[in-house]
Structure 1
Amino acid sequence: MPHPRSPSLLSPANYDNDAASLRSPSEQDSDSDDDEFLRHPRSTLELSQHDRSVLEDEDELEKLLTRTGPALGLRRIFSPNGSSVRIGKRERRRARREARLSRRERVSEEGELMYEMEEGLGDDDTSSLMSGSSMDLDGKEDYLYEPPSKPSWRRIVFVSAIIAILFLILFLGAYKASSTFRAVHPHVQPLLSNGTSLFAPTTILISLDGFRADFLDRGLTPALNSLIANGVSPQYMTPSFPSVTFPNHFTLVTGLYPESHGVVGNTFWDPDLDEAFFYTHPAASMQPKWWNAEPLWETAEKQGIKAGIHMWPGSEAHIGIVEPSYVDKYNGSEALPRKINRVLELLDLPGPEDESDLMPLRPQFIAAYVPDVDKDGHTYGPNSTEIRETISRADDLVAGIVAGLESRNLTNLVNIVVVSDHGMASTSTERLVQLDDEIDLRLVERIDGWPSRGLRPKQPENMEILEEQVARLGKKYADAVEVYTRETMPERYHFSNNDRIAPLWVIPRTGWAIVERPEFDVKKALETGEVYHPKGIHGYDHEHPLMRAIFIARGPAFPHEPNSRLEAFQNIEVYNILCDSLGIDPLPNNGTLRLPLNPVGLHSDEHAPPQVRPSDPPEPSSATITVGPSESTTAATEASSTTVTPSATSPAGNDDESTSWWGAITGKLEEFKEWAGELFSAEKDNHPQL
């Protein structure tokens, strides 16, 4: 019988041939220590001290080998179990150490028990006992694994929110950073060199507010006439209704009718916002809520083209998510030479160095607004001596910009487009309608627009009464006004499909004005000789000759024969033309013209229609107006033009008189009388003392 302390009895190899191969080296080392313990048993105190020292040594080693730093904190934050990771190398080593200690303690306790029991046990019983002990020891490993605790829902929500916020910030930053690079340029021209710098497609847009088309025929505009001779233009451009500044300037840069872009007048009421728009109050008008379309400068910036905007109406309103690269605030007193310098300053900024340079400082679209002609036209009248000087100064501005292009060798590299928004008509105290003598204004909540008057009733039941009063007004002053509801507004006005348009309108005929007390008392003014101001007004029927504007273009985007003549068009077409000249995609709009333009001939052609020189003040009309659409406005428009030739055929029964010498003399006398009357009226407006 073997010795009770013989290690062969406790060795698993004696009863399991595969035991040695299934044990890891560390476990085999542990068994060697156990065998050594059986040969030389130690006291419990010694074992505890030994094990403690072993644990401390291994802990020190763990600290040296464990990585620390910010990554450790991130691992702890995103770990589902917080900062404790139970299933890892460190824990497995700790589990093995604990198992080794447990086995040693059990061996020390069972060793003596086995010594006592082996005397009464056979080999088979001993093997069974040791087999059971071995199974218990091996089974100890099952209790060392602790399943991970479920992560807290608060932690999951917090971490998810942090991730979502970070992703949103990154997305918005990337979107904003890339907004200027999402460009599709169907008409991009190659970079051109002026000898010192490269220029991408560049267009300068100049608006001469209130510059009537026939102002070009007064011998005061050599620079503008030179542009016409070397460029392309129609005889005139038709504004949009109403022919006032803010609606038409926004139409020029959106291609939309005022009813579509929302700026339906210089002053109007919005029933949804329950607020009024006043063009003279920038704090109210320069807010994006009024401007319901994307202007060209925003479209350009979104497509990677910088814009420099000098005082253009609406440019300070922060209309979209992308601002122009350069915006100059409105300053009505700025001298015209300063405007020339500002345009050329923008043009002199650093441009693209090569084809791959996507971030030049120089804007490719430059728009400048010039208010002087409009301002002096209101103050002195369109036929005054003062306005002649103002027209000449406006022409000098154009000449300065053209000279700046020539000195920089940019005449054939940069496009220049000159436009105006409307014309101007003379007024008179004799051509006024006292609205409050004809309409019960106590029934009116608000009056929109100027010089047209849009009436909003206080109560819905007041609408029928006001319609009757307006109809009577239209019949009484048939030569002076047109009257419409929003539903009966002429289709050519494109002025009905917007709630900002009042439900009832009194529209003065060209040269007339509508006034209310106490601003102006017509009867009193006629008795005292008081002169009505302003002496010049616009805002009338946009197709009237006195409301006609200008469009002149020259540059590489307009490779037409010099002095080319276009058919007259409305200003909704300008937006597409400007977009094509810059090589950007226009947004949907009401215009249809695209580059290249199709001239119908030259201005100098023998068969070209004669220039229209409208009578100002316009001749009276005998048309009758009712509340509803009327064709009489077209007749009035034609009658006011000096190019309209009277018919040579007289009514039946008067042929002899019309062909007689007396009839011819009478006709000449009537023509002279009309001419003298117009001349006297114009001089009276210019010199009230007369």
Structure 2
Amino acid sequence: MKPSAVLLAGALAAILVPCCPGAPVHMQRSAHSPRSKLLLVSFDGFRWDYDQDVDTPNLDAMARDGVKARYMTPAFITLTSPCHFTLVTGKYVENHGVVHNMFYNTSSRLKLPYYTTLGIQSWWDNGSVPIWVTAQRQGLRTGSFFYPGGNVTYQGVAVTLSRKEGALHNYGNESEWRANVDTVMTWFTQHDLHLVTLYFGEPDTTGHRYGPESPQRQAMVEQVDRTVGYLRDSIAHHNLSDSLDLIVTSDHGMSSVQKTAPDLVELHKLPNFTFQDVDFELLDYGPNGMLLPKEGRLEQVYAALRGAHPRLHVYRKEEFPSSFHYAGHPRITPLLMYSDPGYVIHGRYSVQFNNGEHGFDNGDMDMKTIFRAVGPSFKEGLEVEPFESVHVYELMCQLLGIEPEANDGDPAVLRPLLRSGATLSRWPPSVMGLLGIMLLAKVA
């Protein structure tokens, strides 16, 4: 290398020193360098194949203009809060600790419903730092609109702007959806937010009520597609097309429920099992269950349930399949179980109102979900093979140019979705200029 190139290399190395792991990324940038913006949109319960029996021109256009995954595999347990928190932490459920939609305490036996749990800080802030806080610590401004986990503080830090739905919120109001999109556009343009997570509670609610194969679900998917079109039109209208990357995805899929089958999973009908041996139970919430047996009765309860029903899978905590990345958290009870696809677990009574359900094995195709991405950082017309949702966090950190927290994702998995140099362009202009000069010096 020529002497001039050596000097330039030294200067470049000095500028790049803050890029060592753990250094705050906002120190790496010029104060005047442009930042890319990112909008993560989740349509709850959007199964991977919902666009195959409905006309979805706007989702199809996203695929043509950007990137589409054949499907995405969510985390287990395939429930709303755990899967959404995996997206914003890059961690499997046993590592981020949001193990259920419901807050529960095995000592007090307190159990709180989904909406109430959204506001319980200790349920969410238990060691993992989501991307909102990480981005803010590195100089960015973030927002959460109805996104699970976005309305509590983490290590004392709140999301810059956030909205939380009401207790009896109507998740299917299309006019409100458009108003919410308008608000998010205002956040980006008037409040200079860099990252926003936007949540819609459909088609999950409709899939639960009418079933995933119903005409009502098909109509709701058409509404989702219209909203995607409105969203992309709004991005263009606000002159954000060249600076904002859009990801549309979901938390899990949906499966039809067996409600009249002769082999329902009913714990209260199993001959050798009694609830008198149990101190705490979390049952009747789809296909999953947790039990805390009374002291000294764990093996007795386990023996009564293990193999008691061909569609019920019961494990001691330490023997739960490690591939689920679920049972290793202290919040998990000594005994846990799940049922076969289509079958829910009935506890003390047999009551099932839903025609559709999730929470099943994340390897089952009905639990797979969608992934679309479009924007200045993404390639065009690319369809990729399936991947796990745990990798989306690393992708988002690359798009925002921030240093990620420790996580279970691999940044290399989704890097092929990006245009050549998409992450390199996040460097300050001074660094980019030096890189160019070094290349010229090397050629000379």
Q: 2:405 — aligned with what?
A: 587
Q: Is the 8 A contact 1:244 1:265 kept in 2?
A: yes
Show the counterpart of 1:298: 133
Query: What is the letter of the counterpart of residue 369 of structure 1?
Result: Y
Higher strand share: 2
Mapped to 2, the partners of 1:215 and 1:413 lie a distance apart of 29
Gaps of 5+ in 2: 1-22, 419-444
Aligned counterparts of 1:187 and 1:236: Cα–Cα separation in 2: 35
- For 1:319, which of 144, 151, 154 is the aligned residue? 154
Counterpart of 2:90 in structure 1 is 255
Corresponding residue for residue 566 of structure 1: 384
1:229 aligns with 2:64: yes
User: CA offset at residue 458 of structure 1?
Assistant: 1.9
Alpha-carbon distance in structure 2 between the residues aligned to 1:185 and 1:390: 45
How many residues align? The count is 385
Give me the whole-angstrom Cα distance separating, in 2, the residues matched to 1:275 and 1:202.
Answer: 43
Partner letter of residue 276 of structure 2? R
User: Are residue 184 (structure 1) and residue 26 (structure 2) matched?
Assistant: yes
More helix by share: 1
Aligned residue identity for 2:266? Q
Q: For 1:457, give the aligned amino acid.
A: P
C-alpha distance in 2 between matches for 1:299 and 1:395: 31
- 1:140-172 CA-to-partner distances (Å, cap 9, x unmatched) read xxxxxxxxxxxxxxxxxxxxxxxxxxxxxxxxx
- Structure exhibiting the larger radius of gyration computed from Cα positions: 1
Contact 1:576 1:586 in 2 (8 A): yes
Contact 2:317 2:333 in 1 (8 A): yes
Between the aligned partners of 1:372 and 1:350, the Cα distance in structure 2 is: 24
Q: Pick the aligned partner of 1:512 from 309, 321, 343.
A: 343
Measured against aligned partners, the alpha-carbon deviations of 1:446-495 in whole angstroms (never above 9, x if no partner) come to: 22253211111022x1111111111131xxx32x2222111111111012
Q: Which residue of 2 aligns with 1:146?
A: none
The corresponding residue for 1:53 is none
Residue 333 of structure 1 corresponds to 170
Q: Kindly provide the amino acid, as one letter, of the partner of residue 542 in structure 1.
A: N
Structure 1: distance between partners of 2:325 and 2:28: 31
**1:424-573 matched pairs, under 5 angstroms:** 424-431=254-261, 432-438=264-270, 439-448=273-282, 450-451=285-286, 452-459=288-295, 461-473=296-308, 477-478=309-310, 480-520=311-351, 532-558=352-378, 560=379, 562-573=380-391
Secondary structure of the equivalent of 2:245? strand
Change (3 A) 1:400 1:571: same
Distance 1:350 1:471 in 2: 53
Distance in 1, Cα, partners of 2:96 & 2:139: 24
Structure 1 residue 310, shift from structure 2 partner = 0.4
- 2:39 is aligned, of 199, 204, 207, to 204
Q: Where do residues 57-68 of structure 1 align in structure 2 (5 Å cutoff)?
A: none
Deviations 1:176-199 (A, max 9, x none): xxxxx964366999856xxxxxxx
Map of 2:250 onto structure 1: 420
Verify the 8 A CA contact 1:189 1:583 in the aligned structure 2. no
2:50 to 188, 196, 215: 215
Using the size of structure 1 for normalisation, the TM-score is 0.53
- The RMSD of aligned alpha carbons is 2.5
TM-score (norm 2): 0.81
After TM superposition, give the deviation of residue 409 of structure 1 in Å: 3.4
* 1:396 correspondence with 2:226: yes
Give the share of equivalent positions with the same residue, in percent. 29
Q: Which amino acid is 2:281 matched to? A: I
What letter matches 1:592 in structure 2?
Answer: D
Task: Read off the aligned partner of 1:437 and give its amino acid letter.
Answer: K
CA shift digits 1:96-131 (9 cap, x unpaired): xxxxxxxxxxxxxxxxxxxxxxxxxxxxxxxxxxxx
SS where residue 597 of structure 1 aligns? helix
* SS class of match (2:411): coil
* Structure 2 Cα separation of the partners of residues 241 and 373 of structure 1: 20
Q: Is contact 2:58–2:229 with CA below 8 Å preserved after alignment? A: yes
How far off its partner does 1:505 sit? 2.0
Return 287-296 or 326-335, whichever deviates more.
326-335
Give the Cα–Cα distance (whole angstroms) in 1 for the partners of residues 389 and 27 of structure 2.
24
CA distance in 1, matches of 2:194, 2:25: 14
Q: Is the contact made by 1:188 and 1:201 (CA closer than 8 Å) also made in structure 2? A: no
How is 1:34-433 mapped onto 2 (pairs within 5 angstroms)? 183-184=25-26, 200-267=35-102, 269-271=104-106, 274=108, 276=110, 278-282=112-116, 284-291=117-124, 292=126, 293-331=128-166, 332-333=169-170, 335-348=173-186, 361-431=191-261, 432-433=264-265
> Unaligned regions of 5+ residues in structure 1, if any?
1-180, 193-199, 352-359, 521-531, 601-690
SS of the residue 1:308 aligns to:
strand
Q: Please give the alpha-carbon distance, in whole angstroms, between the structure 1 residues aligned to 2:382 and 2:42.
A: 21
Q: Secondary structure at the match of 1:184?
A: helix
Pair 289,405 (structure 1): closer, same or farther in 2 beyond 3 Å: same
Deviations 1:424-461 (A, max 9, x none): 000122342111111211111122253211111022x1
* Structure 2 Cα separation of the partners of residues 433 and 596 of structure 1: 39
Measured against aligned partners, the alpha-carbon deviations of 1:64-121 in whole angstroms (never above 9, x if no partner) come to: xxxxxxxxxxxxxxxxxxxxxxxxxxxxxxxxxxxxxxxxxxxxxxxxxxxxxxxxxx
Letter paired with 2:175? P
